[in-house]
A and B are shown apart, each in its own frame.
Chain A
Amino acid sequence: EPEVTQTPSHQVTQMGQEVILRCVPISNHLYFYWYRQILGQKVEFLVSFYNNEISEKSEIFDDQFSVERPDGSNFTLKIRSTKLEDSAMYFCATSTGRNTEAFFGQGTRLTVV
């Protein structure tokens, strides 16, 4: 069964450092998303990406965050200057189209110290 692959599984970084989280989408999927889940809380939408541009972003997705698909396959989330409150599980999700099933990766646990 095709799956969304995320790397790394766990990233520890110092406050103020830049991190890049990577996602390999399912091959025929066209819509890409990042969500985050702070420990014990609900899953929150960060950003959606379609046709090489952001289609929507949440209030959480401020200027410190950026996304890109640099090589046409990997989909990345960059946090420029991490803060303690960025510590969370970050999930990449992909889908074939609107209002269709979104497949989630296993997540990257980001710990900012």
Chain B
Amino acid sequence: QQQVKQSPQSLIVQKGGISIINCAYENTAFDYFPWYQQFPGKGPALLIAIRPDVSEKKEGRFTISFNKSAKQFSLHIMDSQPGDSATYFCAAITNFGNEKLTFGTGTRLTIIP
């Protein structure tokens, strides 16, 4: 129940296209859903995050869509660029003082010219 399931495991998108990564969870106590971007040899860096009281959050080319009833959320990268090539992790935190991040399994995104 503590798991966050992420798909696909890897994704290849042409430059300018839309990259879509999906996550699902079971634990209804999760109430903060960040996405992290990780480049090789680096630590994860927060990209964008959402709370379940909104259905969508947009920051530049990055959008999170959140479906509370389905317990699913997704990351959309519009106009994908080669610099977006990285591993993306969705994550979740519970609402009762438990500060740990539960990460999804990661998606390796490759943007090709």
The residues of A with any CB-CB pair to B shorter than 8 Å are 4, 31, 33, 35, 41-45, 48, 50, 55-56, 58, 91, 93, 95, 98-99, 101-107
Contact = CB atoms under 8 A, between A and B. Distances in A.
B102 A102 contact: no
Contacts of A31: 99
Tell me what chain A mostly uses at the interface: helix, strand, loop, or mixed. strand
B102, B103, B105 — which one has the most chain A CB atoms within 10 A of its CB?
Answer: B103
Contacts of A95: 99
Contacts of A41: 105-106
Tell me what chain B mostly uses at the interface: helix, strand, loop, or mixed. loop
Contacts of B61: none
A107 B41 CA distance: 8
Contacts of A106: 41-43
Given A45-B100, A95-B99, A101 B49 contact: yes
Contact of B103 (A4, A44, A105): A44
Given A48-B100, A56-B100, A91 B89 contact: no
Interface stretch (B62-70, B75-83, B90-98): B90-98
A98 B45 contact: no
B9 to A, nearest CB: 10
Contacts of B103: 42-45
The 10 closest A-B pairs by CB, nearest first: A104-B43, A45-B100, A43-B103, A99-B32, A42-B105, A42-B103, A101-B46, A104-B44, A91-B43, A107-B43
